[in-house]
Structure 1
Amino acid sequence: MESPGGGGGGGGGGGVSLLALAEDGECVVQLSGKDLIYHSDVASPELRGVQFVRGKENLQGSMKHLKFSRYCQGNVSDRRVLCSSESRISVWQLNPLQLYADIEGIESGTLNIDFGSDENEVIVFHPWNTKLAIHSLDSGRSQVIKSPKFSHPNGFGYRSKTRQLAILLKPEASDLLTIHEFQSYELINRAVLPTVDAQGLKWSPDGTWIAVWETASAGTKVVIYTADGQLYRTYTGPPGEDSTFDLGVKAIEWAPADSRTGSSELLAVAKVDGNIDILTSGTFSCSVSLSHVYRLDQNFPAIWRENATAADGTLNYIESSGSAAFSAIGEPTAPPRGVSTLTFSPDGRLLASVDQQRPNIVWLWSFEIAPRLVTAFVHDSPVRQAAWHPWKPELLITTANSALPVVRHWIPGSDPAIIHVPVKRNDTGRYDVRWLASHEHKQSTFWVGSSDELVLGHLSTEGDIRSFHSIYTVMGKSQAGSSIASVNR
């Protein structure tokens, strides 16, 4: 969930409180005027608390970023939050809530600011990607990596557990991949990439591989490197495929590491033509290619179509044949191409995808026994988000629908449901969701909201009816108003 109203920037003069969620969903920070407000242990009535601290300036009016440090198991008390304006970065520790460090004199026009390998580092991408500066909060020392190719997360990544940095550079004509040691940032290896215009990199969840994908205009190409920067494999498409019609790669996604072996076994390569090539690690050859193009005379599994009841306009899913569901969709005149959403279930056995030619459909694929289409969910509006529960196969879907604040919920072996959630109607239709990650919460607990309001709650089932019960609400009001948190019983 992109932190509603915050996280990625903005808030310059809109007068709306910036909200940011911790990665595990257990706490929230918000800015309101000069106040930084911290809502901790929000799902636990026994531990829940709210802390306030007042800054020297109007934080709300000048902030560009509001971000949590990455959550580390066993180190919850160490997490921090950063607020950045055009010229200053302030880092706050949360337990207790107080200013930890200020970084002054930030160059105007920075492209991205975030925490680095842990809560003790802040990274700053300077204008025009001239350099990446890494600031150590403990030592006060700064280090520089010149000519990063991108400032967005596809351009760099930290290895799981050991936290070495892999980053794409573009100092001159060639793309470079460099790998750096944790904290010291000493160079481990430097590789000239065999690419025309590399578009991003991703570490495998087990930290064994780095995958880099080529620009789509150059055709299908994904290069695989070992953790120390040695070229291992180059994937250029399924064997026998006619390269004349190869439209290239849109994105890639690793499946989670297998719980039995601890290794990352699948890499999904999303293509511009709407296909998804599934590669097996080790050989990195294509085991199967999934297609979003189906003939209407094909046999389909159960397809679920969003339906509005005539009486009150509420939404539900109705089961439909594939031909009826898909033939009812109006094709856009000039659709963008490519798979825009690609997300694995936590066990890696299910994959949810969205193809931009039909952006209102979520396709569900299974990799148990043999790869197959399990079902599809057809909506009236484009899909905004498909979010798997972090440790069990349970899916939430939101769409860009401003009419009703709802979430769509599915678990294997049951019919999907569309559930109303008690948040304010947002004219943009931008409702986002984030699951709580803790195993302590046995219920299906998640956040849902927009830039105006966040609501935490869980789903319950009575008979065939699934409903949302709110637990805690965080609301942001205009600068003239006040920031409110409420407990719902």
Structure 2
Amino acid sequence: MDFTEIYKQSLGLVEPSPTSHAIRGSWVLTAVEDRLIVRRMDTFQVSRSWLVDNSHSSTSQHLSTQSKSKAGTSGTDGWITHIGWSCDSLYMFACCARRAIVNVFSLEDEQWNARIESGVEGLIKAEWAPDGRNILCFSEWGLRVTVWSLVNGCATYIQFPKYPGRGYAFDQDGRQFILAERHKSKDTIGVYDPNASFKLLRHFPLPTSSLSSFALSPNGDHIAVWEGPLEYKLYIFNLAGQHLGTFTPEPDPGLGVRNAAWHPSGNMLAVSGWDDKAGIHILNSLSWTSIAAFELTGRVPEHVSVWREPPRWIEETHGRGFLSHDQVRAPTSIQIRTGATGGLIHLEWNITGNILLARWENCPQAVHLYSFPSVPEEFRPRLQTILLHSHPVLSAQWNPIRAGSLAICCGTGAVYTWVSDKSEEVCECIGVPAKKFSTRDVRWTGDGDGMALLDKETFCYAFQVLEE
């Protein structure tokens, strides 16, 4: 694996362009305080750079003057808080949420720019719509969602979102925008048409007393919604508003739903709670009942592969080179913290849906991988592999192209990879060749050949070296 130099970034704002062009190539968008930077992916040389206009609008200037007189000011107020590429990689935005403004720039015309001022309602975050010509701005206090068009400069307002900056989704084709809303003290789902200026298609009520979140299936046919953390109830609807099923584990569900992850096919749904009483349940799309369940136990069965990070390997090798994990003979046991809240921090399928990743809060140094059989085989999912690390896992991400490839980081000067090819597994520790670098986040590139490694204020890229 080959590493680039170390570059500066702020607030973890590093994003590769979603598309690659034969002439323009691929790019990396980063933010350093109040400056937006575009680098070429092949050389990492700076191609474009803008110092964003983070001056207040007249309304926000008046409000900020009053707040400063009461609570002082911060030097980070004008920093960029969100960045993003349009779907065709022609435009990019830099959002300064604390100043309630969004600046938009063009990759092809460095002189062109646009500015969005949110005004008195404030701004939590901004995000591109799938068409790459509309920007969604989420106001403070969940007042509304404003959709700004770069084509005609007009704004479309969607009132009463349930939460500011979350509780929304686009379907896979970008033809429907689904938003959790609150009308007259009742939870509802709003479905909008992005191709018709976000025209309302339908509203339908929910049986929830306090909706926590929802998950849209990959094919856009179903939506799973669930209650807050005190009540374990999950409801399944289609986008016409028809209630298809309700799930509550028996006999003791414990706390409410924390995570729900749809299988890539949309035929199964993995659900977990805020504690480990209910474990992980796999629901099918026919009856919406549990067809498999997994619990966290300290005792590891014989058939499970256990890989442990070698102790003190970073100090002994000075963080250089590659080192394989130690394979532990099963049956064995793993340490589970007592007194922790429990529940799953992370629940995610790989691209083909044959492996489910789970990270438990009361077992923070471990990554559990559950295997699922292919269609012709008997449906008997089981725990396949456990990856144990010396420090708590901070981030784990599946390769977007290769089904059996996983990258993990633990806040150390290394990145950890797990690769499975049929029955063979390879688990490696890879040191980052830098004097001061702690990998706090890892993000694969779109082609799956490289990954961005992020520290608190810096980043680098690591690419696989192709053998000739």
Counterparts of 1:143 and 1:388 in 2: how far apart (Å)? Answer: 36
Q: Which residue of structure 2 lines up, in the alignment, with residue 83 of structure 1?
A: 95
Does the C-alpha gap of structure 1 residues 300 and 178 become closer, same or farther in structure 2, counting only changes over 3 Å?
A: same
Alignment-derived partner of residue 129 in structure 1: 142
For the Cα contact (< 8 Å) 1:177–1:193, is it kept in 2? yes
TM-score (norm 2): 0.80
* TM-score (ref. length: structure 1): 0.77
Among 418, 421, 438, which residue is 2:432 paired with?
Answer: 421
CA distance 1:200–1:382, shift in 2 (3 Å): same
For 1:379, the equivalent position in structure 2 comes to: 389
Residue 303 (structure 1) aligns with? 306
For residues 255 and 247 of structure 2, the distance between their equivalents in structure 1, rounded to whole angstroms, comes to: 14
CA contact (8 A) 1:279 1:287 kept: yes
**Paired residue for 1:336?**
341
Where do residues 8-27 of structure 1 align in structure 2 (5 Å cutoff)? 19-22=14-17, 26-27=26-27
Deviations 1:358-390, CA, capped at 9 Å, x for gaps: 111100111014201111001121111111111
Amino acid across the alignment from 2:430: I
1:289 corresponding residue in structure 2: 293
CA distance in 2, matches of 1:201, 1:89: 27
Which residue among 239, 251, 254 is the counterpart of 2:259?
251
Unmatched runs of 5 consecutive residues or more in structure 2: 1-7, 21-25, 56-74
Deviations 1:246-300 (A, max 9, x none): 333111011223xxxxxx222111123431111122332221012222546x434
Provide structure 1 residue ranges, at least 5 long, that are not aligned to the other structure: 9-17, 258-263, 463-489
1:38-437 maps to which residues of 2 (within 5 A)?
38-40=38-40, 42-43=41-42, 50-56=47-53, 62-69=78-85, 71=87, 75-76=88-89, 78-85=90-97, 86-107=99-120, 109-153=122-166, 155-182=167-194, 183-219=196-232, 221-237=233-249, 241-242=250-251, 244-257=252-265, 264-274=266-276, 275-295=279-299, 298-309=301-312, 312=316, 316-322=324-330, 324-326=332-334, 329=335, 331-368=336-373, 369=377, 370-402=380-412, 404-412=413-421, 413-423=424-434, 425-426=436-437, 429-437=438-446
Tell me which amino acid in the other structure corresponds to 1:269.
V
**Is residue 9–residue 457 contact of structure 2 (8 Å, CA) maintained in 1?**
yes
Deviation at 1:318, TM superposition (A): 0.8
Q: Which residue type is aligned with residue 371 of structure 2?
A: S
**Using a 3 Å threshold, how does the CA distance of structure 1 residues 435 and 226 change in structure 2: closer, same or farther?**
same
In 2: Cα distance, 1:218 partner to 1:200 partner = 13
Is residue 156–residue 167 contact of structure 1 (8 Å, CA) maintained in 2? yes
**CA 1:98–1:374: 2 relative to 1, 3 Å:** farther
Amino acid at match of 2:408: T
Q: Is the 8 A contact 1:409 1:419 kept in 2?
A: no
Letter in 1 for 2:197: S
Residue 67 of structure 2 is matched in structure 1 by none
Gap change, CA 1:461 and 1:360, over 3 Å in 2: farther
Instruction: Give the conservation status (yes or no) of the 8 Å contact 2:340–2:362.
Output: yes
1:479 aligned partner: none
Identity percentage over the alignment? Answer: 23
Paired positions, count: 421
Compared CA separation, residues 450 and 177, structure 1 to 2 (3 A): same
Q: Separation in 2 of the partners of 1:70 and 1:408?
A: 30
How far the C-alpha of 1:234 sits from its partner, in A, is 2.0
Query: For 1:277 and 1:163, how far apart are their aligned partners in 2?
Result: 30
Q: CA deviation at 1:168?
A: 0.8
- Take 2:165 and 2:117, find their aligned partners in 1: how far apart are those partners? 23
Measure, in 1, the Cα distance between the counterparts of 2:398 and 2:426.
Answer: 16
State the one-letter code of the partner of 1:332. R
Per-residue displacement from partner, 1:79-135 (whole Å, max 9, x unpaired)?
A: 423333513211112234444321125336422222234322122222211222222
Which is further off, 21-30 or 404-413? 21-30
Q: Distance in 2 between matches of 1:192 and 1:181?
A: 19
Match of 1:471 in 2: none
2:462 and 2:295 map into 1 onto residues whose CA distance is 36
Question: Mean Cα displacement is larger for which, 184-193 or 61-70?
Answer: 61-70
Compared with structure 1, are the counterparts of its residues 276 and 106 closer, same or farther at alpha carbon in structure 2 (3 Å cutoff)? same
Offset of residue 333 of structure 1 = 4.7
How far is the alpha carbon of 1:169 from its aligned partner?
Answer: 1.0
Tell me, yes or no, if the aligned pair for 2:405 and 2:419 is still in contact at 8 Å.
yes
Instruction: Give per-residue Cα distances to partners, 1:443-468, cap 9 Å, x unaligned.
Output: x3222222433222323499xxxxxx
SS of residue matched to 2:358: strand
Aligned twin of 1:472: none
Given the superposition, is the C-alpha separation of residues 407 and 302 from structure 1 closer, same or farther in structure 2, using an over 3 Å criterion?
A: closer
